Amino acid sequence: MSKRLGLALSGGGARGMAHVGVLQVLDEAGIPIACIAGTSAGSLAGAVYAAGYRGPRLAELALGIRWRDVARPSRSRAGMFSFEPLESYLGRLLGDCTFADLEIPYAAVAGDLDSGRAAILRQGRLAPAVRASCSVPGLVAPVEIDGRRLVDGAIANNLPISVVRDMGADVVVAVNLHPHPPEPPRHGRQIAMASFLYLLLAAGDDPATADVYLPVPLYGLDSLVRLSRRREHMALGRRVAQDALPAIRAALA
């Protein structure tokens, strides 16, 4: 019986384009993915992949999305923006898709605003779950699902390795878009960004618990928000995944 490979995809805003590069390399290498769990940007990439978007179709979709497809200003006291456009976008793309309709078992990781704990979403309608997983608290209004107010899963588990294990994966490949800073921070902006990264690392599962860990070296505020760098991010994801192929094949052997 062959080993089941699962993917844990971290959050990372616009850095999520790197996940597309990783997914493309695994497809091209003929490595089947048995299950996926994603947080925030990872939940969006994972959901679209699990729904059947592969290769050129996945890249075309990633290169075509704009912030207006994701967010709009909101008058809600709960957030300056709403990710309702993201939910509508997924509805147009995938129809009224449920988790049961997906080709690959998939989980979206959100954060429960009232308990601070992770909400592992695996049932019901897909689009609201992804929207909840991506909704940055304070900036984006929460999403209510089954009586719970849900926000970006990064507050509870930004690298859901344990979730993938619970889904039955024998081998977990974890893709982290918020790796350790490349050098000690020295001035105010660097210190702020490094502290943000450390908080996200602490909020996620320990990278050492993955069988293969892929830290994608993306740093700086602009990499979180600038979609204009999407090709660069996709190429970087491809490079990291290609370098890791020997380790992934060894783990599956």
Q: Determine which one of 43, 133, 152, 223 is catalytic.
A: 152
Tell me whether residue 40 is one of the annotated catalytic residues. Answer: yes
Residue 1: how many CB atoms within 10 A of its CB? Answer: 4
CA nearest 132: which of 190, 95, 87?
A: 87
Task: Annotate the chain with three-state secondary structure.
Answer: CCCCEEEEECCCHHHHHHHHHHHHHHHHCCCCCCEEEEECHHHHHHHHHHCCCCHHHHHHHHHHCCHHHCCEECCCCCEEEECHHHHHHHHHHHCCCEHHHCCCCEEEEEEECCCCCEEEECCCEHHHHHHHHHCCCEEECCEEECCEEEEEHHHCCCCCHHHHHHCCCCEEEEEECCCCCCCCCCCHHHHHHHHHHHHHHHHCCCHHHCCEEEECCCCCCHHHHCHHHHHHHHHHHHHHHHHHHHHHHHHHC
Q: Determine which one of 40, 82, 133, 162 is catalytic.
A: 40
Tell me whether residue 195 is one of the annotated catalytic residues. Answer: no
Q: Measure the CA dihedral 228/229/233/234, to 10°.
A: 50
Radius of gyration of the chain (CA): 17
Q: Write out the catalytic residue numbers.
A: 40, 152
